[in-house]
């Protein structure tokens, strides 16, 4: 979907700092760096903490997350965070 | 078609769909190579109020391999950005557009050009270059040719670039070919066609009158060669470069509905479209693997070599045209790997096979459009390229007027087998088969200068 520019600026709702704070509070361990073969030259990680960040829970049982930000993807494992998120989702 | 809608997934994503790729020594500047990648295929010119444009969320790239490993040594990246002048109107333009900064032009596109070297070092060569508008019609754009010429940008680093709408110069009888492999000039010889037709028919150019969006770059040749030499001999391996184009999208997109400006696109770029040799993904790769092929770099093409060695179409021709391809049928039956096609499509033709010609990049199998940059432009082009005795044409790169459909048909039908097996006698039909079209069946004439592709068909007069 194209994003047309006419004076207004995108306002990210989820900041990198916010997500890292959540993660740290439940003891997240980053287990993998950016994924080989997907990154392209000229693509950089998000430059600042206000950049949008998206987390995907790939494997709920193992607690495997993909964290997408800027031009990169980081994989991390945290079963407790996964369980907590699932609980929140079920309540919603 | 060459690569218009050639795979299931990309056929639903036309903004990122590469349709044709051209690479040739520029006829008017033979010390440069011109590469043109077409996207957004099959555009009906009368498409208001939302005329076609590049995707702001797509990374378009043109890659050049200069050492034969199927990986890019030079990549040109093109990123687009759309700007709206007036958010109170539904109109593309509110009056005639006579310049690229016309206040009457409401929805404009700009792009940046980034060059990436073999080590991944990226350098932004230019930013906010204007695209020309789409060819709305003569009232909106009185002199489209001049306006588009103003959108040819010369970069400080020596390259020329253009990105915008053009007429599709590819010619193909799509309706016939995908109706059970019919070639209208031979329709009365077709297995089923012989019950319907009493004689040969006239081919129809299915893409005539339609537009595309082109990304064109003209590069001083030495900037592409592996050793950076300004002059090389045609037999020198360093004379040959492999070219392909790709389009990629961010791995994640989050849409916020009415709050469009809060949409998020993050994560690594994921390749969704690729094009090297015309028709490779279209007629060589099985449908079940076409999307996979689009996601991979040429360095992974070894896994598709089996489909080149035993192409499905070669098996179909003797069935569809009984009695015309008996020698090909015998070759198929013997399951002889098609070393001619493997060379043409995946490694290039080595020295000593075709007089005064080679475009080999070595042993690594990779689908790339291979161009011997030391071969000068032909004084008089033959649309059949190398098999027509014109070594400046396809499969030595690809020029606008090359009849790549007929060349590919002849090659698959066995016309090029003698390059690797002198004892093989091609069927008479293999050296005569053609789709029955030429560049003259495109009702817009190619330019004699960069960006070479014709001025786009305008929406007022097309369709008519």
Q: How do residues B57-114 score in pLDDT, each as one tens digit?
A: 999 999 999 999 999 999 999 999 999 999 999 999 999 999 999 999 999 999 999 9
Task: Please report, rounded to a whole number, the percentage of residues in chain B having pLDDT higher than 90.
Answer: 95
The predicted structure's pLDDT at residue A59: 95
B95, part of any domain: yes
**B249-289, pLDDT tens digit by residue?**
999 999 988 876 788 999 999 999 999 999 999 999 999 99
**Average pLDDT of every residue of chain B:** 96
Residue in chain B nearest A6 by alpha carbon: B84
The predicted structure's pLDDT at residue A44: 57
CA nearest neighbour of B270 among B42, B13, B36, B3: B13
The predicted structure's pLDDT at residue A6: 52
**Structural domains counted in chain B:** 1
Burial group, residue A57, by CB count within 10 angstroms (0-12, 13-18, 19+): middle
**B217-230, pLDDT tens digit by residue?**
999 999 999 989 99
B77, part of any domain: yes
Give CA–CA dist B272/B246, Å, rounded.
8
Calculate mean pLDDT across residues A64-70: 95
Does the pLDDT of residue A23 top 80, yes or no? Answer: no
Give CA–CA dist B335/B323, Å, rounded.
19
**Residue from the list B77, B82, B248 with its beta carbon closest to the beta carbon of A4:** B82
Give CA–CA dist B54/B162, Å, rounded.
13
Instruction: Judge whether A61 is closer than 8 Å to chain B, CB to CB.
Output: no
Give CA–CA dist B336/B307, Å, rounded.
13
A32, part of any domain: yes
Give CA–CA dist B162/B97, Å, rounded.
19
Calculate mean pLDDT across residues B23-52: 97
Does the pLDDT of residue A2 top 50, yes or no? Answer: no
Does the pLDDT of residue B20 top 50, yes or no? Answer: yes
Please indicate whether, in this complex, the C-beta atoms of B269 and A11 are within 8 angstroms of each other: no
Question: How many angstroms away from the CA of B368 is the closest CA of chain A?
Answer: 19
**Structural domains counted in chain A:** 1
A7, part of any domain: no
Does the pLDDT of residue B197 top 80, yes or no? Answer: yes
**A25-62, pLDDT tens digit by residue?**
344 444 433 333 333 444 555 667 788 899 999 999 99
pLDDT band at residue B333 using 50, 70 and 90 as cut-offs: very high
pLDDT band at residue A66 using 50, 70 and 90 as cut-offs: very high
Give CA–CA dist B65/B266, Å, rounded.
28
**Residue from the list B121, B255, B266 with its beta carbon closest to the beta carbon of A52:** B266
Domain containing B157 equals 10-172+207-440
DSSP labels, B39-72: EEEEE-S---SS-----TTEEEEEEEESSSSSS-
**B407-421, pLDDT tens digit by residue?**
999 999 999 999 999
A6, part of any domain: no
The predicted structure's pLDDT at residue A38: 36
* Residue B105, helix vs strand vs coil: strand
**Residue from the list B53, B81, B114 with its beta carbon closest to the beta carbon of A42:** B114
A35, part of any domain: yes
**B420-450, pLDDT tens digit by residue?**
999 999 999 999 999 999 999 999 999 999 9
Residue showing tokens 């993904």? B281
The predicted structure's pLDDT at residue B2: 66
**B237-255, pLDDT tens digit by residue?**
999 999 999 999 999 999 9
B197, part of any domain: no
pLDDT band at residue A7 using 50, 70 and 90 as cut-offs: very low
Q: Global pTM? A: 0.92
Residue in chain B nearest A1 by alpha carbon: B57
B37, part of any domain: yes
């Amino acid at each position: 979907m194209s994003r047309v520019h006419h004076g207004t600026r995108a306002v990210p709702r989820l900041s990198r700092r916010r997500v890292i704070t959540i993660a740290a509070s439940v003891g997240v361990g980053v287990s993998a760096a950016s994924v080989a073969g997907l990154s392209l030259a000229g693509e950089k990680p998000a430059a600042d903490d206000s950049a949008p960040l998206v987390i995907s829970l790939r494997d709920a049982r193992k607690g495997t997350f993909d964290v997408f930000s800027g031009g990169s993807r980081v994989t991390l494992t945290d079963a407790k965070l996964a369980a907590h998120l699932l609980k929140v989702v079920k309540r919603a | 078609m060459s690569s218009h809608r050639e795979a299931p997934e990309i056929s639903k994503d036309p903004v990122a769909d590469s349709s044709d790729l051209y690479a040739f020594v520029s006829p008017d500047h033979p010390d440069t190579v011109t590469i043109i990648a077409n996207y957004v295929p099959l555009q009906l010119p009368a498409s208001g109020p939302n005329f076609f444009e590049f995707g702001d969320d797509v990374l378009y790239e043109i890659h050049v391999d200069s050492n034969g490993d199927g990986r890019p040594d030079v990549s040109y990246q093109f990123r687009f950005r759309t700007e709206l002048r007036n958010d109170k109107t539904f109109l593309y333009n509110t009056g005639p557009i006579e310049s690229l900064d016309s206040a009457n032009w409401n929805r404009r596109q700009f792009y940046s050009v980034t060059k990436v070297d073999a080590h991944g070092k990226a350098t932004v060569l230019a930013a906010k270059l204007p695209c020309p508008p789409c060819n709305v019609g003569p009232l909106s754009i009185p002199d489209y040719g001049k306006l588009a010429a103003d959108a040819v940008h010369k970069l400080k680093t020596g390259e020329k670039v253009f990105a915008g709408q053009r007429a599709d110069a590819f010619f193909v009888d799509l309706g016939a070919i995908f109706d059970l492999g019919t070639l209208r000039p031979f329709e009365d010889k077709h297995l089923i066609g012989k019950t319907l037709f009493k004689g040969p028919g006239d081919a129809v150019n299915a893409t005539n009158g339609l537009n595309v969006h082109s990304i064109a770059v003209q590069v001083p040749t030495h900037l592409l060669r592996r050793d950076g030499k300004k002059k090389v001999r045609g037999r020198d391996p360093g004379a040959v470069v492999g070219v392909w184009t790709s389009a990629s999208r961010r791995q994640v997109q989050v849409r916020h509905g009415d709050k469009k400006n809060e949409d998020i696109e993050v994560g690594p770029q994921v390749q969704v479209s690729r094009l090297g040799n015309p028709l490779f993904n279209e007629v060589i790769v099985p449908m079940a693997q076409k999307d996979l092929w689009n996601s991979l770099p040429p360095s992974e093409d070894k896994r598709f070599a089996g489909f080149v060695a035993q192409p499905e179409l070669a098996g179909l021709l003797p069935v569809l045209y009984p009695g015309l391809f008996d020698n090909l049928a015998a070759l198929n039956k013997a399951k002889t790997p098609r070393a001619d096609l493997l060379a043409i499509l995946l490694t290039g033709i080595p020295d000593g096979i075709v007089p005064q010609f080679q475009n080999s990049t070595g042993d690594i199998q990779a689908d790339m459009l291979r161009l011997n940059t030391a071969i000068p432009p032909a004084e008089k082009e033959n649309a059949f390229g190398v098999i027509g005795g014109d070594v400046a044409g396809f499969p030595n790169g690809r020029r606008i007027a090359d009849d790549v459909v007929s060349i590919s048909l002849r090659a698959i039908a066995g016309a090029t087998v003698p390059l690797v097996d002198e004892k093989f006698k091609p069927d008479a039909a293999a050296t005569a088969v053609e789709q029955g079209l030429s560049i003259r069946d495109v009702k817009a004439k190619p330019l004699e200068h960069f960006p070479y592709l014709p001025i786009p068909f305008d929406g007022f007069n097309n369709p008519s």
